[in-house]
Amino acid sequence: MEHARVTFLREEDIDAPVLIEGLPGIGHVGKLVADHLIHELGAEKIGEISSPHFPPQVIVDERGITHLASNEIYRYEKDGKAVLFLVGDVQSNSAEGHYILAEHYLDIAQDLGVGRIYALGGYGVGHLVENPRVFSAVNMEHLRPEVEAAGGSFENARSGGMIVGASGLLLGLGKARGIEGICLMGETSGYIVDPKSAESLLTVLSRLTGIEVDHTSLQQRAGDMEQMIANIQEAEEARGREELSYIG
């Protein structure tokens, strides 16, 4: 069985110099921002990725239709300025799967001409934050001034740290391919889907990419996401996780 199945929904030229990754993670800040951008810009879905390294499940939508757990690629273009988005419901559920999928994402990125990746995420601090900062990391030193000029903070670096999962590996493995990587992490409690953190993150990202969108629906979107997560958790708790049991 192949490690990842990538299906493109259109065949024409879909190159873009920039990829924005917003997969699920801490506080869903990255996912919230990427989903918001896709919606506000009206970005077009151009590809789907399924993989045996994702959790073995389907998502049931509000009409009762199942969808295989997957990641998706969206594309937006305006005035000759194109950008790709990597979003989805899941990340790999194994360490090795993370590496395998990250290499697949980078293959796709390179095929589509991507030279820079923005990896979006949250930076949990365990308490509510009035004015969330946007912590940053880059995979090449020359990127730092640009990020600082856009309002990204590198204060987090003083205490070292790690970036786990797709965001981390896109930067780490991307560097070996010569792809610039900038990770932006919105400071957040980690307890809620945090629209304030997302707004800070979006502000810095807009300065870096030149992509401007309205922020007003961000709070509503965060609330919807929060509700969706709560519904799923409630259902999961009631049902229990499907223990793969056996009988004689």
Selected binder of a second copy within 131, 158, 214, 216 (CB under 8 A): 158
Candidates 45, 144, 207, 215: give the one binding a second copy (CB under 8 A).
Answer: 144
Which one of 13-21, 37-45, 171-179, 202-210 is the stretch in contact with a second copy (CB under 8 A)? 171-179
Helix 195-209 and helix 218-239, axial crossing angle in degrees, nearest 10: 130
CB of 15 to a second copy, least distance (A): 25
Least Å distance, CB 7 to a second copy, is 9
- The secondary structure of residue 153, as a DSSP letter, is B
154: Cβ contacts below 8 Å, ≥ 6 apart: 135, 136, 137, 144, 147, 148
The answer for residues whose C-beta is within 8 angstroms of residue 222's C-beta and 6 or more apart is 32, 192, 193, 194, 195, 198
**Residue 217 CB neighbour total at 10 angstroms:** 14
Does 82 interact with a second copy (rule: CB under 8 A)? no
Per-position x/- string for 207-246, each x denoting binding to a second copy as judged by CB under 8 A, each - no binding: ------------------x--xx-xx-xxxxxxxxx-xxx
Contact call for residue 77 and a second copy (CB under 8 A): no
Instruction: By CB under 8 A, tell whether 58 contacts a second copy.
Output: yes
41 and 87 Cβ atoms separated by less than 8 Å: no
Task: Determine, following the binding rule CB under 8 A, whether residue 162 of this chain makes contact with a second copy.
Answer: yes
Q: Which is nearer to a second copy, 77 or 224 (CB)?
A: 224
Pick the piece of the chain touching a second copy (CB under 8 A) from 14-22, 39-47, 87-95, 204-212.
87-95
Buried b (16+ CB within 10 A) or exposed e, 192-209: bbbbbbbbbbbbbbbbbb
